[in-house]
Amino acid sequence: MSSYSDICPKFEFEEDDYLKATDIKKVACIGAGVIGYSWATNFCMKGYPTVVYDVFPAALDNAKVKIGEYIDILVNCDVFSKEVGEAAKARVSYTSDLKEAVQDAQFMQESGPENYEIKQKLLAEIDKYAPADAIYSSSTSGLLISEIAKFSEHADRCLGGHPYNPPHLIPLVELAKGDKTTDEVVQTAYDFYKLIGKEPIILRKEVLGFISNRLQNALYREYVEIVSRGVCSIEDADKALVFGPGIRWGILGPTLTWQLGGGAGGIKHIFDHIGPSMDLWLKDMAVWQEYPKDWGAFAQEGVNEEMKNRDKEFGNTPEEIKQFQNKALIELLKIHKKL
Ligand SMILES: NC(=O)c1ccc[n+]([C@@H]2O[C@H](COP(=O)([O-])OP(=O)(O)OC[C@H]3O[C@@H](n4cnc5c(N)ncnc54)[C@H](O)[C@@H]3O)[C@@H](O)[C@H]2O)c1
């Protein structure tokens, strides 16, 4: 393999006169769906005046309710006081006028529909009204930022800022550069996401599915494989992760976990020692490239059984389980000092 520093170089800047994270005073959330209103919650609770835009007034009404509920949950979990929560809610304004939303914003988080044409049209409108150096960060899950910004006059200020749902709680944001995005824009977005408590990571090349979805799918392919082979039930495969590697991965990533597991010899020792066994496992593992067509229905039956079997205190319905998940997530985030 090439050397680590060749593959992962650091950014270096020649100029110093670009918009910095500390220059960001107002944020616009474009698109007020599931991701948009969660992002707005994050921005307002970190002190930023936030304007939420959507073409549909009903979406704005719904966003207002959801932002209120998210803030109330955080108050109930002692993340901040009721007064602080009310002040956060008061920082959010709502509009279906795009010009009003972006004309004095320095940072725009776009969470509109996952469709090139819609995002390109939105960006053309944004180009007309937003300050030229305001950053445009798209929440897109799978579209290429180069393609979204293909017709933009300001493609240099556009990047992908891919969150994990719900963005106001999950710290990860994956930053993707397009072919015209400047390193300075990426650096400012990175610094800004840090300021609002996120854990941004920068993709040095555009790649389908970003980092986390690729990792998640690589693991899930093997999950499908062992359940389909009859090795274990859905419930046991979930337990094998939650009470095994998953609980460790919520604290440290796999390489750092193995660094500790290797004792004085670190990860190098793990690979020298157990590497040959791991090669054997790899040879027996799934390599197929399309999920079985009936997996969804099959898994549904297994997960229904799993929900029924859970201890009552951890929830048996999706709504109860979600409440448990939220509470546990908030506790873990407090340990990571992300809330
Ligand atoms: N849902 C997820 O788990 C998830 C996770 C990460 C990223 N994303 C990405 O976030 C973006 C939004 O996804 P979502 O799940 O919030 O979708 P959503 O359907 O809940 O919300 C989209 C919103 O965009 C609005 N909209 C429609 N046309 C518009 C226009 N022309 N201008 C502005 N707003 C418009 C809709 O009214 C709706 O409120 C997508 O790009 C998606 O890929 C979603």
Per-residue pLDDT reduced to its tens digit, 74-86: 999 999 999 999 9
Give, for ligand 1, the residue of 66, 98, 100, 141 to mutate: max count of ligand atoms closer than 8 Å to Cβ. Answer: 141
| Amino acid (1-letter code) at residue 266 | G
Q: For 19-203, which CATH class?
A: alpha beta
Residues of the chain with CATH 3.40.50.720: 19-203
* Ligand 1 geometric centre to CA of 34 (Å): 7
In angstroms, the CA 171 to CA 164 distance is 8
- Ligand 1 atom closest to the CA of 121, numbered from 1: 31
The confidence score (pLDDT) of residue 51 equals 98
Ligand 1 binding pocket (C-beta < 6 A) is 30-36, 54-56, 59, 111-114, 118, 122, 139-141, 162-163, 165
Taking the centre of ligand 1 as the mean of its atom positions, its distance from the CA of residue 324, in whole angstroms, is 26
pLDDT tens-digit map of 273-300: 999 999 999 999 999 999 999 999 999 9
Q: What is the pLDDT of residue 209?
A: 87
With a CB cutoff of 8 Å and minimum separation 6, the contacts of 335 are none
CA 148 – CA 115 distance, rounded (Å): 9
Those residues with Cβ within 8 angstroms of residue 10's Cβ, 6 or more apart along the chain or in another chain: none
Residues in the chain predicted with pLDDT less than 70, given as ranges, are: 8-9, 11-15
Give span(s): CATH 1.10.1040.10, the chain. Answer: 211-336
Shortest-distance Cα residue to atom 39 of ligand 1? 33
Tell me how crowded residue 153 is: count the other CB atoms within 10 A of its CB: 12
Cα separation, 133 vs 283, whole angstroms: 51
**Atom number, ligand 1, closest to the C-alpha of residue 118:** 31
Considering the domain 211-336, what is its CATH architecture? Orthogonal Bundle (1.10)
φ/ψ bin of 5: left (φ > 0), alpha (ψ from -120 to 50), beta (otherwise): alpha
